[in-house]
Amino acid sequence: MDQNETPNRDMSRGMSDPVKAALIGAVATLLVALISGLVARNNQRATPAPVVNQPVVLIATATNALPTIAPPTDTPQPANTLVVTQPLANTGFAFASQITPDGVAIDPGLAFSADVKQIYAVFQVGRTPPGLHVKHDNPTNTDYYAYLAPSGEEAPASVGWRWLQGGALVNEYETATDGGYFWLSVYNQDGEGLFEGGLGAPGVYDIFITLADNPIMNAQLIAR
């Protein structure tokens, strides 16, 4: 070679064909790997993040405000009007057409209007049938009470009453005393008054309190 001649940089001239093929294959593999990496990276960027659906929870909150209830504009008055024609019996046993939720007689007496719908037997403290006492948290000596309860071991097995008009039996009821407290009442569900055909006609009724089916005290009720 001439000293002024530029050397030929084509290295392939001195290579054999198998070496050339190996180099070309390596270059091709490297290009494929680079292209695959770029495609994979692009696919990862394009894939959206998964969406997780969270349930919606509704929480009801309480308030101390109470609803306002308008009072009725026209409140009917009860028709159970007490008609007193004789003093209460000195036995401590009388009747009432209305009681409070805790059993206190509102209108104790011995005479009532014929249109009353319900009658209770009511008693004073200490003057109840033997073996029974008034069921009330704070009883007084002047009030009458409908609710009774057994008084210890001497309580009777049952208590009841009988209604007679002109000697004929018109109503009878008996209840056991072992079920807590109890009361004696008669009620007409037909809409008529007790003494307008529900129980009987107006007039005088003899009413007997019974213990174990034996009469032990009585009073008269007048219906007008």
pLDDT tens digit sequence for 22-73: 545 554 454 444 444 444 444 444 444 333 333 322 222 222 232 332 333 3
Does the pLDDT value for residue 203 go beyond 80? yes
Question: Residue 20 has what pLDDT?
Answer: 53
Q: Which of 67-71, 150-154, 196-200 has the lowest mean pLDDT?
A: 67-71
Contact criterion met (CB below 8 Å) for 105 and 143: yes
Question: Residue ranges per domain, the chain?
Answer: 17-45, 93-223
Contact criterion met (CB below 8 Å) for 172 and 200: no
pTM above 0.75, yes or no: no
| DSSP codes of every residue in 68-102 | P-PPPSSPPPPS--B---SPPPTTSEEEES-B-TT
Give me the CATH topology for the region 93-223: Immunoglobulin-like (2.60.40)
